[in-house]
């Protein structure tokens, strides 16, 4: 999906969500923001430094400033939880093994997985796998954490637990968090501000707090998204749309 004329700021220390229906370009934007996709025009700027532009890819130093939690978790199945979390530290730092072990223990404790160091990913529940992947994303103490559909594949209770973990990380560590999602419950639980992409426009059609967009937007597309109205359901009266 090609997206055009997309411009927005993510404020330091906030939880920022990128929203939209399937096929609107959320994944494309996510990949461009994290260096996984080369951009044709424009720039990605982190802390006043242009880290990516047309013809310029993320540098190694820029990559150290971000952590990514992929939708699938993307843990190495043949590695233990501890080895997965240690992987970025061994690849991108010169820390000694005793220090790496201490960092791994700390990061797993921060996501509620203390004592799970020797487990393989297949021995963990889906929610625990996401937490282990989160610990790995946090291993280099990134300034920004990116989450791609973090609630995907999780039951409602486990999803709510992950939302609380995200909020705790943001509030206790001050980490800026960017989330790509379409899960309304999670959006209202964690996000300070959001942008909404539209497949037809191929760009952002709304920006603000979730409550503001749900309750005050004059754009029918925005209201329909936040009130879960299917496309083409014009016959449904506005007064019949249930609020969250």
175 touches 191 (CB < 8 A): no
Q: Are 162 and 121 contained in the same domain?
A: no
Q: Last residue of a domain, which of 137, 160, 189? A: 137
119 touches 81 (CB < 8 A): yes
Residue 167 located in a structural domain: yes
Q: Last residue of a domain, which of 110, 137, 164? A: 137
Burial class (CB in 10 A: 0-12, 13-18, 19+), 75: buried
Distance separating alpha carbons of residues 106 and 83, to the nearest angstrom: 14
Residue 243 located in a structural domain: no
Domain that holds residue 27: 1-65+142-231
pTM given for the model = 0.86
Closest to 197 measured CA to CA, from 12, 27, 14: 27
Q: Are 146 and 219 contained in the same domain?
A: yes
Residue 52 host element (H or E): strand 49-53
State the chain's mean pLDDT as an integer: 88
Q: Are 110 and 174 contained in the same domain?
A: no
Residue 199 located in a structural domain: yes
Q: Are 83 and 128 contained in the same domain?
A: yes
pLDDT at 153: 78
> Confidence class of residue 243 from pLDDT cuts 50, 70 and 90?
very low
Q: Are 49 and 168 contained in the same domain?
A: yes
Burial class (CB in 10 A: 0-12, 13-18, 19+), 231: exposed
Q: Are 60 and 163 contained in the same domain?
A: yes
Q: Are 194 and 159 contained in the same domain?
A: yes
Residue 88 located in a structural domain: yes
* CATH code for the domain in which residue 49 is found: 3.40.50.300
Burial class (CB in 10 A: 0-12, 13-18, 19+), 132: buried
For residue 47, give both structure tokens. 């802390």
Residue 164 located in a structural domain: yes
- The tens digit of pLDDT for each residue in 67-97 reads 999 877 789 989 999 999 999 999 888 999 9
Q: Are 98 and 219 contained in the same domain?
A: no
Q: Chain-centre distance of CA 210, in angstroms?
A: 16
How many structural domains compose the chain?
2
Strands 176-180 and 144-148, bridge-based pairing: parallel
- The tens digit of pLDDT for each residue in 181-223 reads 888 889 999 999 999 999 889 899 999 999 999 999 999 999 9
Distance separating alpha carbons of residues 85 and 104, to the nearest angstrom: 6
Q: Are 57 and 83 contained in the same domain?
A: no
- The tens digit of pLDDT for each residue in 109-159 reads 999 899 999 999 999 988 899 899 999 999 999 999 999 988 887 888 988
Q: Are 85 and 101 contained in the same domain?
A: yes
Residue 108 located in a structural domain: yes
Q: Are 158 and 108 contained in the same domain?
A: no
Asked whether residue 106 carries a pLDDT value surpassing 90, the answer given is yes
What secondary structure does DSSP assign to 161-216, as a single string? HHHHHHHHHHHHH--EEEEE---HHHHHHH-SEEEEEETTTTEEEEEE-HHHHHHH
Q: Last residue of a domain, which of 137, 160, 185? A: 137
% of the chain residues with pLDDT over 70? 94
Q: Are 13 and 55 contained in the same domain?
A: yes
Asked whether residue 238 carries a pLDDT value surpassing 50, the answer given is no
Identify the weakest region by mean pLDDT among 31-35, 54-58, 82-86, 108-112.
Answer: 54-58
pLDDT: which is higher, 3 or 190? 190
């Amino acid at each position: 999906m090609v997206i055009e004329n997309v411009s927005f700021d993510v404020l330091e220390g906030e939880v920022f969500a990128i929203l939209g229906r399937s096929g609107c370009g959320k994944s494309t934007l996510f990949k461009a923001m994290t260096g996984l996709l080369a951009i044709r025009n424009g720039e990605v700027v982190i802390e006043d430094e242009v880290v990516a532009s047309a013809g310029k890819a993320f540098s190694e130093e820029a990559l150290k400033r971000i952590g990514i939690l992929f939708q699938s978790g993307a843990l190495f199945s043949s590695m233990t939880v501890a080895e997965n979390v240690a992987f970025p530290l061994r690849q991108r730092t010169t820390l000694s093994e005793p220090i790496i072990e201490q960092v791994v223990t700390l990061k797993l404790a921060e996501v509620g997985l203390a004592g799970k160091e020797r487990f393989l990913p297949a021995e963990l529940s889906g929610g625990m796998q996401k937490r282990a992947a989160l610990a790995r994303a946090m291993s280099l103490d990134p300034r920004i954490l990116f989450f791609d559909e973090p609630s995907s594949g999780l039951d409602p209770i486990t999803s709510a637990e992950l939302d609380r973990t995200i909020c705790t990380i943001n509030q206790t560590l001050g980490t800026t968090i960017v989330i790509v999602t379409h899960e309304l419950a999670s959006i209202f639980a964690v996000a300070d501000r959001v942008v909404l992409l539209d497949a037809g426009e191929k760009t952002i059609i709304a920006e603000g707090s979730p409550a503001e967009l749900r309750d005050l937007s004059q754009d029918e597309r925005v209201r329909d998204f936040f009130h879960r109205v299917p496309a083409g359901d014009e016959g449904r009266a506005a007064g019949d749309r249930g609020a969250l």
